[in-house]
Structures are given as C-alpha cells and as structure tokens.
Amino acid sequence: MREVAVIGVGMNEKWGELWEKSFRDLFTEAALNAIDDAGVDKIDSMYIGCMSGGLFVGQEHIGSIMADYLGYGNIPAARVESACASGGLAFRQAFIDVASGMNDIVLAGGVEKMLDVDGGAATYALSTAADQEYECFHGITFPGLYAMIAKAHMHKYGTTREQLAHVSVKNHKNGAKNKRAQFPFETTLDGVINSVMVADPLTIMDCSPVTDGAAAVILCPLDLAKKKFKKHQIIQVIGTGQATDTIALHDRKDLTWLTAVELAGKKAFEMAGKKPTDINLCEVHDCFSIAEICVTEALGFFEPGKGGPAVESGATAIGGKIPINTSGGLKSKGHPVGATGIAQIIEITEQLRGDSGERQVKGAKVGMAQNMGGSGGSSVCHILEVK
Amino acid sequence: MGTTGRNWREYPQRYRMEAAKCKKCGKINFPPRLICPECGHREFETVKLSDEGIIKTYTVIRVAPTGFEDEVPYAVGIVELKDGVSTMMQIADCEPEELKIGMPVKVEFRLVQAEGDAGILMYGYKAVPVRN
C-alpha cells in the first residue's frame, strides 16, 4: 500500500442558506477551491459523499453531473453514501484509490443542498437514515433518537442537562471564530437549555442545523507530494477505519455506547500506530450535543460516562486536554450532511498546517476526524499527521 | 411514508407482533430475519412477542415528522419485552411528566398513522403504562 497525503482543501466561502447557489455549483465551487489550493492540473478520479441528492433536490447520478460541471467529464467519478458519514466514506474511498496504486490525483468531496425543500421534507429525507419500518413508522425523528440516547446516558451515568448544553456552548464559541460557519455566534447555557424543546431533553440548540454546503480535498501519493506539491506543509493520512452497527437503535445492547465509532476508531488508531493520548485535536460528529459526549467516550478520550464531566471541565475546549470540534462542529459550522465528513478533514488539515488563526491548537501534529451515520449505524475515522 | 403494499407486507409484525425464534440458539428476532445475527442459523419458528415489558428509554416528540403533526406532544420509547426483545413504539395514554425509565408497560393494538390525506389507516402496537 502506498503512503497518502492531503495536498489541497476547499470549501464554499460560507455555509448556510445559500439560495443563490445550485447543487452543482456548490460542489464545483468547493472542488475548484481544493484544486487551486493543491495546485494540481488534473484529477484522475473522484468520490463524492452525498446522502440524499434524490430527496433534497431530485438529482441522482451525482458522479457524472459533478465531473461534467467540474470540467472533467470523462474521469471515473462515484457518489458514495453512508447517511451523514457519506463525506468521511468518500475520503476513505479516495484514500484506498491512491493507496492501492490505481490512481494518483484523487478528489474526495461532499455536498448537500438541504434548503431547497421545506422543513418537513428535510426531516423526512434525514429520517431515511433510520429504520423506516420499525423506527420511523412510529413517529420518531432524528432528534428523538438522540434524545433517547441522552435519556439513557443520563439515567446510566448521571449526565446532566447542563453538561449537554456545554457541548453546544463550546462549539459555538469555536464556531464564532470560523468565518465559514453558518451560525458564527456564541451562546450560553441558558440560551441552550431554554430554547425551543424538540424532543425531551434536547432543545433546538442541542441540534445541528440544516445547511447548504460542499467541501473537497485532493489526495495523492506521499512521494509525489514531496516531489511536486510542496506549496503547503505536507499532511499524511496515517490511519483510516470504518465500521457499521445495527441501523435500529433498539437493537443495540447498550443504548449509550456507539460500537461503530469504537471499532472505526480502533482500526484507525491501530493503522496509525497511535493511541487516544497521542491525538492533539479531534473533529467529532456532534449532530446532537449528546452525540459528542458519546463519541468522545467511544473513541477512548474519556472513560464511559465521563464525557459529560469532561466537556463541563473544559477538557475539550481549545487549550484543554483534547480540543474537540475546533471548527465549531456540526452545531455552529453547519451540517450539509454529505459534506460534513470532508469539512472535518479540512479543519484537521488546516490545523496541522498551522493555518487556523484564532482557533489554532498550538503545536498540533496529529489530528483525528470522526464522521457518523444515522444514530450510530455507521462511522468512519481518519488520523492525519504532519509529515 | 408508505404504500398500501408496503404496509400490508408488515401486517404479521404490526398486527400480531410475530417474531422469528432461531431454532438453533433460541434468539427471538423482531422483525423476522433470514439469518440469525447471533449464530448464523437460517431456520426459525414463528412466535408471538410478549405484550408486557418495561421502558428502557424514551423521549417526548415536540416537533413531529409529516403525518404526526396533530399528535404532539407524544412519547416514543424503546420497550424491553419479557421475552428479551427490545423494540420501538409510541407510549400512549400517558402524561409526559409521569414517564420514567424502568416503568412497566403493556403493549396494545392501536392506530399508529394514516397514509396521506385520504389514504389507508395503518395500525400497529403501542405501549400503555401499567398503573398499580
């Protein structure tokens, strides 16, 4: 297997309600920014994470339309899907493509155009990541599924309502310093706890938003990066891991434990030859506040049940023991589901390059990104290191 | 969301709570599967699930998906039945404030949703708290 580097990154200038930008333009803009950032003059193949082009904009066959509008109308291009982990999976497929020796310059991107439909249609599209016949049939929503995880976590470990709110407060504090964030403002514990209740105990400020956005990165063999693409600090992908779990939350023995995250993380750590204490910062899938707490436990940053006290203590803030979601996370930066996994890789890459400005984690050498689908039915993890 | 055929296909589970008990390891699978996730065996006998259980976790939905808007607030939970099967269902005939993890419930045959504006009524199971 060849060693692989990330040599270019690109996003839209800002994520959010991008009425003036179409599905294809969102992606093309991010992809062109990544191509320019890398300084490449060709793309050999492309993987695009997109959860539901069909339900959000009525567009499938996404590999072809995006390759066409990017000006690479004949390259192999594939859309990959693993619900909200589609972007992370696109990055993993691109990594495998380069590592295998099949292709040299590979683009991994992600896109979701979520605001062309109304709230009901968006909720329905997102709910297709759950078990349609045995979860959604009963009137459950994604906030509802994570609310059930939160209730179970609070019952088992004594996690508090305030600890959940600390996740949103921290991520908004980080996101307020991110010019690309959809909601770049700070909030307070009261602001989170007393906002509109969506599914007890989660309020709307425990939930990531619906977002239009895209992100793209360029990968190539490490040797080629050292010879030809020296514009930026070279960042190597040293670990990748992917795992699945039951699609239905009720089929899991422990409702508070994300097995897919644990296993994807373990595979990535093993491949990288690293352990949780070696990681300088991590982007995790905080689709809901409780998700960040569960993920930081499943990845081994904290003992089971200690994720709540950890965020409350400041251990996951910038300057803490392990900064989590320096970008603002899904909560503040926005969550265009197919693009999220790629944007996580971009945050880690820019942090390792030392390009994160006010959000910079000083001396960061090793970073991790964890992307998740559904209520934990899939997860993809990557570890990157300064080379 | 569904079609008549899609709902009809689930009648054995939604109307009668039929499950597939593995003939090798005894695990009860609900809904039925073609291969036992516990032991890999492929032969099953049809059994009816217990109608008694406890609430393992729950939430109260305040922002509903399409088709459930008129019902808010309503409770949905994961119920662990006496035969060891856990599955999701609404918790009916209760006030949100009285619900607790560990609370005993009885499973009843109820209307769950109606398909579209003039579509078929879709029945299934809901839990009801057992009050001593």
Give pLDDT, residue B131: 87
What is the secondary structure of A155-203 as a DSSP string?
Answer: HHH---HHHHHHHHHHHHHHHTT-TT-SS-----HHHHHTS-EEETTEE
Asked if A145 and A94 sit in the same domain, the reply is: no
Q: How far apart are CA A227 and CA A108, in angstroms?
A: 21
Last residue of a domain, one of A187, A218, A235: A235
Q: How far apart are CA A270 and CA B68, in angstroms?
A: 45
Q: Is A199 close to B63, i.e. CB distance below 8 A?
A: yes
Asked if A174 and A246 sit in the same domain, the reply is: yes
pLDDT digits (tens, 9 = 90+) for A54-113: 999 999 999 999 999 999 999 999 999 999 999 999 999 999 999 999 999 999 999 999
Range of the domain at B75: 4-129
pLDDT digits (tens, 9 = 90+) for B26-59: 999 999 999 999 999 999 999 999 999 999 999 9
Sign of CA dihedral A140, A146, A147, A149: positive
Q: Is A148 close to B113, i.e. CB distance below 8 A?
A: no
Token pair for A196: 């509109």
In a domain, A244, yes or no: yes
User: What percent of chain A shows pLDDT beyond 90?
Assistant: 100
In a domain, A129, yes or no: no
Contact status of A200 with chain B (Cβ, < 8 Å): yes
Residue A361 pairs in a beta bridge with none
Residue A46 has pLDDT above 60, yes or no: yes
Residue B1 has pLDDT above 60, yes or no: no
Is A84 assigned a catalytic role?
Answer: yes
Asked if A248 and A348 sit in the same domain, the reply is: yes
Q: What is the mean pLDDT of chain A?
A: 98
Give pLDDT, residue A175: 98
Asked if A217 and A199 sit in the same domain, the reply is: no
Q: Is A152 close to B77, i.e. CB distance below 8 A?
A: no
Residues 131-170 on A with a CB inside 8 Å of B are 132-141, 143-144, 147-149, 151-152, 155
Give pLDDT, residue B118: 67
What are the two backbone dihedrals, phi and then psi, of residue A63, each rounded to the nearest 5 degrees?
Answer: -55, -45
Quickly state the pLDDT bin for B2 (edges 50, 70, 90): low
In a domain, A341, yes or no: yes
Quickly state the pLDDT bin for B6 (edges 50, 70, 90): confident
Contact status of A319 with chain B (Cβ, < 8 Å): no
Asked if A53 and A64 sit in the same domain, the reply is: yes
Asked if A193 and A339 sit in the same domain, the reply is: yes
Asked if A295 and A165 sit in the same domain, the reply is: yes
Asked if A223 and A242 sit in the same domain, the reply is: no
Q: How far apart are CA A145 and CA A135, in angstroms?
A: 9
Give pLDDT, residue B115: 74
Quickly state the pLDDT bin for A8 (edges 50, 70, 90): very high
Q: How many domains does chain B have?
A: 1
- Tell me if the pTM is above 0.95: yes
pLDDT digits (tens, 9 = 90+) for A312-327: 999 999 999 999 999 9
Quickly state the pLDDT bin for A146 (edges 50, 70, 90): very high
Quickly state the pLDDT bin for B4 (edges 50, 70, 90): confident
Q: Is A138 close to B60, i.e. CB distance below 8 A?
A: no
Residue A373's nearest CA partner among A131, A106, A174, A200 is: A131
Q: Is A138 close to B62, i.e. CB distance below 8 A?
A: no
What is the secondary structure of A345-379 as a DSSP string?
Answer: HHHHHHHHHT--GGG--TT--EEEEEEEETTTTEE
Quickly state the pLDDT bin for B120 (edges 50, 70, 90): confident
Range of the domain at A230: 4-118+210-235
Asked if A171 and A223 sit in the same domain, the reply is: no
Asked if A309 and A198 sit in the same domain, the reply is: yes
Q: Report the 10 Å Cβ neighbour count for A74.
A: 7
Q: Is B1 close to A144, i.e. CB distance below 8 A?
A: no
pLDDT digits (tens, 9 = 90+) for A180-239: 999 999 999 999 999 999 999 999 999 999 999 999 999 999 999 999 999 999 999 999
pLDDT digits (tens, 9 = 90+) for A200-211: 999 999 999 999
What is the secondary structure of A97-136 as a DSSP string?
Answer: HHHTTS-SSEEEEEEEE-TTS-HHHHHHHHHTTS-TTTTG
pLDDT digits (tens, 9 = 90+) for B67-110: 899 999 999 999 999 999 999 999 999 999 999 999 999 999 99
Amino acid found at A247: I
Asked if A158 and A285 sit in the same domain, the reply is: yes
Residue A216's nearest CA partner among A353, A356, A46 is: A46
Q: How far apart are CA A258 and CA A252, in angstroms?
A: 9
Looking up residue A262, the CATH number of its domain turns out to be: 3.40.47.10
Is A282 assigned a catalytic role?
Answer: no
Q: Which of B6, B63, B76 is closest, CB to CB, to A138?
A: B76
Probe site for chain B from A127, A156, A200 (most B CB atoms < 10 A): A200
Contact status of A248 with chain B (Cβ, < 8 Å): yes
Give pLDDT, residue A239: 98
| Closest residue in B to A202 (Cα–Cα) | B59
pLDDT digits (tens, 9 = 90+) for A280-312: 999 999 999 999 999 999 999 999 999 999 999
Q: How many domains does chain A have?
A: 2
Asked if A56 and A89 sit in the same domain, the reply is: yes
| Closest residue in B to A149 (Cα–Cα) | B57
In a domain, A18, yes or no: yes
